[in-house]
Amino acid sequence: MDVTVLYFDGCPSWQTAIERLHAAADRTGVAVQVSTQAVETTEDAERLGFTGSPTILLDGTDPFAQPGEISALACRVYATPDGLAGSPTVDQLADALTRAPI
């Protein structure tokens, strides 16, 4: 599965997201190829569907997308069982990996 982590340099949570993605892939046995893409302009954000850093795309689809989210050069916040966080948990990512169409 192709996984792209969209990020911008003003938000460090994308690095944690990558670590958790690898842990989730190891846990589930889903083979992933993780790449990163810096988002530098609001035009890029709109074109890529970037709703904050990090935006995680599984084969081009954001499994954490919420209705009404807008493109922005900002840090993204994820709802986790422990409250709001800068990236999804390993469990949330593992669930997303196993639910993604192959």
Per-10-residue mean pLDDT, the chain, length 102: 95 96 97 96 93 96 93 94 97 96 74
Return d(Cα 20, Cα 44) in angstroms, integer: 25
How many other CB atoms are found less than 10 A from the CB of residue 50?
A: 25
What is the domain extent for residue 49?
2-99
The residue to which tokens 């993604």 are assigned: 100
Contact between residue 51 and residue 68 where contact means Cβ atoms under 8 Å apart:
no
Total structural domains in the chain? 1
Q: What is the pLDDT of residue 60?
A: 94
Residue 20, token pair as written in the block: 């958790």
**Environment class of 37 (CB within 10 Å of its CB; exposed 0-12, middle 13-18, buried 19+):** middle
Full-model pTM: 0.93
What is the CATH classification number for the domain harbouring 94? 3.40.30
Q: What is the pLDDT of residue 40?
A: 95
Q: What is the pLDDT of residue 75?
A: 95
3-state secondary structure of 46: helix
How far, CA to CA in Å, does 28 sit from each of 16, 36, 50, 84, 96? 18, 21, 26, 24, 10
Q: What is the pLDDT of residue 22?
A: 98
